[in-house]
Amino acid sequence: MSMQSGERAIFRIEPTYGYGMGNSYKLKISSREVMYLYVELLEVLPMDLASSFLNTEEMGRPVKFTNKEISQAADQLHAMGKEVFANGNYVEAAKYFLEALTARKMEDTPNHCQSQRNTLFARLENNAALSYLNEGNMRAAEERAKKALELRADIASMAKACYIFEKVLNGRMEFDEALSYVKRGLGISPKHPELTQLLELCEKEADAAKEQSRNILKKSATGLGGASTSGTASTRVA
């Protein structure tokens, strides 16, 4: 049974023979007596809301939370994600950010606030993407950054998603695609500092990749063999 803050309930406890008789004996009541417990849930402490939310998610059973409690749980989970991210625990960080996202989606918010909701969603998607990026899980990072872009939220979130896409594509040596996302991000936010710094680097990498491809073709044509490409992906936090 679940209860909300402010709810009251009376529980009927009726001992029976067999299992539980030992407990009945310790409570000094006979098997025919009935106990009634009156319970009033005054308040769920805010500091416990994140843990309560995580526990109920893991147990897979519905528990009632007020809209205020859901909002507080989302804030706490977000803060927990940022804390463990700063400590280099990217797996846990991604988990907390996505749990915060789940909580945000449970909030009962008026339709006219959808733009604000999308901004919150996009920021959490980006945070999860950055966590995966630093962990080295490029597929998950790309998936979350894509979701952030699809929300078409605030300028900062969209530019950040483009930044993450560049890192993922650069890691796969898809330099032209990486450059296209940098330009897309700058089209959204022309003065974005990280994207501005990346532009020149991406252009050089794209040109170098094209030059290398041309050299490989020339060597192949003259029977001199091929060449291999190498590169590293930056996982600097935006």
Both tokens of 208, joined, read 């170098």
Both tokens of 25, joined, read 């004996």
The domains of the chain, with CATH numbers, are 1-43 (no CATH), 45-108 (no CATH), 121-224 (1.25.40.10)
pLDDT in single tens digits along all 238 residues of the chain: 455 555 555 555 555 544 443 444 444 445 555 565 555 444 444 556 777 777 666 555 455 678 888 898 899 999 999 999 999 999 999 999 999 999 999 888 777 688 899 999 999 999 999 999 999 999 999 999 999 999 989 999 999 999 999 999 988 889 889 899 999 999 999 988 888 988 888 888 888 878 887 777 777 666 544 433 333 344 444 3
The 3-state DSSP composition of the chain as helix, strand, coil percent (nearest 5) reads 65, 5, 30
Q: CA-CA distances (angstroms) from residue 157 to 153, 174, 190?
A: 7, 23, 14
- Report the chain's terminal Cα–Cα distance, integer Å: 44
pTM of the model: 0.67
pLDDT of residue 209: 79
Looking at residue 21, its amino acid is M
Both tokens of 27, joined, read 């409570």
222: exposed, middle or buried (Cβ count in 10 Å: 0-12, 13-18, 19+):
exposed
